[in-house]
Structure 1
Amino acid sequence: MFSDNYGRRFSYLRLSVTEMCNFRCTYCLPNGYSGPKASAFLRRDELQRVMRVFAASGTQKIRLTGGEPSLRADLAALIEDASTTPGIQRVALTTNGYKLRQSIDDWQAAGLSQLNLSIDSLDPQQFHAITGHDRLADILRGVDRALGLQLPVKINAVYMRDVNDQLGAFLHWLKVNPVTLRFIEVMETGAQPGFFEQHHVPLSNVKQQLLLEGWQPVVRRQDAGPAQEFWHPDYAGRIGLIMPYSRDFCTTCNRLRVSAQGKLHLCLFGEQGYDLRPWLQNDAQIEELVQVIQDALTHKTATHGLHERNTGITRDLSMLGG
C-alpha cells in the first residue's frame, strides 16, 4: 500500500474527472467556471490506468469528483470502470445533484456504492442564493430516489456564518431522513481570502453542542474520509464534522488526490502537483508509475499550512474536488 514518511497508509483515492462546474457557489466559484476546457482533462483510458495503479497498490476506495462529475457524458462508464477494477471495494461519487434524479438509477446500476451530495441549505431561497440555481426540490427528490435504491447518502454543507449557520433547521430534517449530514468548515483558498475571514465558523463549537445534546461518536471506518461522525438514538440521520483547522486533523490522512489534468496532489492545499500523465499513455508504463507515485510520497508533509494561511496552489475547491 502507498505510504509516506509518517507511517500514514493510503487506501482512498479522490479522482477528479473534470474541473468544470455549472454551479456558482459563493465559497468556490462565485463568478462561474472559467478554467480549462474539457479537452484538457484525462481521457477514459487514462482514468482507467489511474484506477488500476492505485488499486494494485492497496487503494480500496475511489471517489469520483470534480468540479461536477456529471458534466462528463461518460460518468456512468467511469463508475463501472472503478467498480470493476480488481481490489476496489467501494466507489463513491460527489455531485452537486443537478443530474441526480434522472441519472441515479444508471449510476447505481454501474456500481456506485455511496453518494455524496452538496446541499448547503434546506431553504429554497437560500440554496438559490448560495449556488445560483433554483434546484433544491428536484435535488431532494433525487435524494429520495437514491435512498429508495438503498444507497448510503451523505449530504455536504459548508457551514458559513451569517449564511446557513442554522443548526436547528438541519437537525429537524435529520429527525426523519436517514442520511449523514456533514458540516464542512469554510477553508481559505487563493481566490477568496476575504470570504474565509467573513464566514468561517469553528465547528468545534458545534461539536460541543452536539455532545451536550446526547450525540455520540461513530467508530471510524478504515477507508473513511476526514469527518468525525456522530449518532443519536432519536434521529434517523447522523452528523459529520469536517474540521481542517482542528488539532491533529492530518494525522489520520488516508487519501491521495489525482486532478482532472492528471496531477498527483499529496494534499488539498499542497504547493505542487506531480504530473502522472506521461505514464498514463499505455499499459507498459504502469509498473514504473507505481514507483513514481511512491517517490512523490516522500515529499508529503506532516500537515497542511492552513493555520499559517498558506493555501498552496488551490485557487478554488473545484480544482481538486475538495
Structure 2
Amino acid sequence: MLQDSLGRRFYYLRLSVTDVCNFRCSYCLPNGYQGKPEDSFLSLSELEAASRGFAAMGTQKIRLTGGEPSLRPDIDDIITRLSHIDGIDQLAMTTNGYKLHKRAADWARAGLKQLNVSIDSLDTEEFHRITGHDRLNEIMAGLTVAQNSGLKVKVNAVLMRGVNDNLTPVFQWLKTNPLTMRFIEVMETSDQQVFFRQYHQRGETIRSRLLAEGWLPVIRGVAAGPAQEFYHPDYAGRIGLIMPYSKDFCASCNRLRISSLGKLHLCLFAEQGIDIRPYLQTGVATEELVKVVSEHLASKEVGHHLKDHNSGAMANLSQIGG
C-alpha cells in the first residue's frame, strides 16, 4: 500500500489522458486551448502500465481526466483495457459532456462505472457565458442517457461568487433528480489570479446553510474523492462541496496524479512533476516503477500552499485534470 510519512494512504489515481480541451471555461481556459495537440501524450500501453503498477501498489480507483478525455480517439479502448485490471474496483471519468448523449452508452459497455459531468450552471444563458458553448440542453440529455446506461453520475460546478452561487435552482433540481451536485471552490492558479480575487466564494457558507436546513453528512469511503457530501430525506439528490481552502483539507488526501505526459504529481499544486514515463515503456508494471513512486511519496508535503497564493507549477487546471 502506498503511504506517505504522515500515514496517509493513496487508494485513488487521477490519470490524465490529454491536455486538450474544446471548451473555453472562464475559470480555466477563457481563451481556449492554446497548446498544440501532440502525439506525445501517454499511449494506451503506457496508460495500462501505469494503471497496473498503481493497482499493484494498492490503488482501487482510477479517474480518467484531461483536458477533455473524450477527445482522445481511443478513449473507448482505454476504458476497456483499464477496466479489466485486477484491483481496480472503480473506473471513473470526468468530462465536459461534449456529445455525451451519443457516447455514454458506449463507455458503459466498455467498462466505465462512474462519470462526473461539468455543468457550471443550470441556466442555459449562464452556462453559455461560462463555457463558450450553448450545449446545456444537449448535456442534460446526456445525463439521462448515462444514468440509463448504468453509470453512476455526479455533476460538478465551479462555485463563483455572483455567477452561480444562487442555490435555489439547484435545490429545485435535486428535489426529484437522484444525482449529486458538487460545488468546487475556485482555486487560484498563475493564469487566473485576478479571476480568483473577483469570484472566489467559500464553500463553508454553503456547508453552514445545508446543516442549518437539515442536510446530513455522508460517510466517505477510503477511495472517495475530496468532496464532503450531504443528503436530505426530502431530496432525491445530494450536494457535495470541495473546499481546498478549508482547514485540514489535505489531511484526508488519498489521491495521486499522473499528467498526460507521464509526470507524477504528488499534489495538484506541486512545484514540478516527477517523470515516470521511462518506467512505462515496457507496457507492463515494473518493480522500478513501484520503487520510484514509493521513494518520492516519502517526500510528499503536509499540504498545498494556496493560502499563500502559491499554486506551484499549475498555470491552469486543464494541465493535470484538476
* Same fold by TM-score greater than 0.5: yes
Residue in structure 1 matched with residue 237 of structure 2 by the alignment: 237
Contact 2:187–2:200 (CA under 8 A) maintained in structure 1: yes
Deviation at 1:283, TM superposition (A): 4.8
2:248 partner letter: D
Question: What secondary structure does 2:22 align onto?
Answer: coil
**Whole-angstrom CA distance in 1 between matches of 2:99 and 2:285:** 36
Is 1:316 paired with 2:305?
Answer: no
Deviation at 1:269, TM superposition (A): 0.5
1:171 partner letter: F
Residue in structure 2 matched with residue 214 of structure 1 by the alignment: 214
Residue in structure 2 matched with residue 195 of structure 1 by the alignment: 195
Question: What secondary structure does 2:257 align onto?
Answer: strand
Q: Structure 1, residues 189-225: CA drift from partner, whole Å, max 9, x if none?
A: 1111010000000110110001111100011111100
Question: What secondary structure does 2:190 align onto?
Answer: coil
Residue in structure 2 matched with residue 274 of structure 1 by the alignment: 274
- Structure 2, unpaired ranges of 5+: none
Identify if the C-alpha distance between structure 1 residues 27 and 159 changes in structure 2 by more than 3 Å, giving closer, same or farther: same
Contact 2:49–2:285 (CA under 8 A) maintained in structure 1: no
2:134 partner letter: D
Query: What aligned pairs does 1:170-181 form with structure 2 within 5 A after superposition?
Result: 170-181=170-181
- Structure 1, unpaired ranges of 5+: none
Deviation at 1:285, TM superposition (A): 7.0
Identify if the C-alpha distance between structure 1 residues 288 and 22 changes in structure 2 by more than 3 Å, giving closer, same or farther: same
Contact 2:48–2:283 (CA under 8 A) maintained in structure 1: no
TM-score where L is the length of structure 2 = 0.98
Q: Structure 1, residues 105-162: CA drift from partner, whole Å, max 9, x if none?
A: 1100011111100000000110000000000001000101111123211100001011
Residue in structure 2 matched with residue 69 of structure 1 by the alignment: 69
1:289 partner letter: L
Deviation at 1:277, TM superposition (A): 0.9
2:164 partner letter: N
1:185 partner letter: E
Residue in structure 1 matched with residue 100 of structure 2 by the alignment: 100
| Count of aligned positions | 322
Deviation at 1:176, TM superposition (A): 1.0
**Whole-angstrom CA distance in 1 between matches of 2:52 and 2:285:** 12
2:73 partner letter: A
RMSD: 1.0
Contact 2:185–2:202 (CA under 8 A) maintained in structure 1: yes
2:172 partner letter: H
Residue in structure 1 matched with residue 151 of structure 2 by the alignment: 151
1:251 partner letter: A
**Whole-angstrom CA distance in 1 between matches of 2:121 and 2:140:** 11
Contact 2:48–2:284 (CA under 8 A) maintained in structure 1: no
Contact 1:67–1:318 (CA under 8 A) maintained in structure 2: yes
Question: What secondary structure does 2:286 align onto?
Answer: helix
Question: What secondary structure does 1:191 align onto?
Answer: coil
**Whole-angstrom CA distance in 1 between matches of 2:61 and 2:279:** 22
**Whole-angstrom CA distance in 1 between matches of 2:152 and 2:235:** 16
Residue in structure 1 matched with residue 164 of structure 2 by the alignment: 164
Q: Structure 1, residues 265-294: CA drift from partner, whole Å, max 9, x if none?
A: 000001110001111111577111110111
**Whole-angstrom CA distance in 2 between matches of 1:283 and 1:95:** 26
TM-score where L is the length of structure 1 = 0.98
Contact 1:264–1:274 (CA under 8 A) maintained in structure 2: yes
Deviation at 1:82, TM superposition (A): 1.4
**Whole-angstrom CA distance in 2 between matches of 1:202 and 1:312:** 21
Contact 2:263–2:277 (CA under 8 A) maintained in structure 1: yes
Residue in structure 2 matched with residue 25 of structure 1 by the alignment: 25
Residue in structure 2 matched with residue 119 of structure 1 by the alignment: 119
Residue in structure 1 matched with residue 248 of structure 2 by the alignment: 248
**Whole-angstrom CA distance in 2 between matches of 1:283 and 1:150:** 31
Contact 1:20–1:38 (CA under 8 A) maintained in structure 2: no
Identify if the C-alpha distance between structure 1 residues 178 and 142 changes in structure 2 by more than 3 Å, giving closer, same or farther: same
2:225 partner letter: G
**Whole-angstrom CA distance in 2 between matches of 1:150 and 1:184:** 25
State the percentage of identical aligned residues: 59
2:249 partner letter: F
Residue in structure 2 matched with residue 110 of structure 1 by the alignment: 110
Q: Structure 1, residues 291-317: CA drift from partner, whole Å, max 9, x if none?
A: 011111122100000011110001000
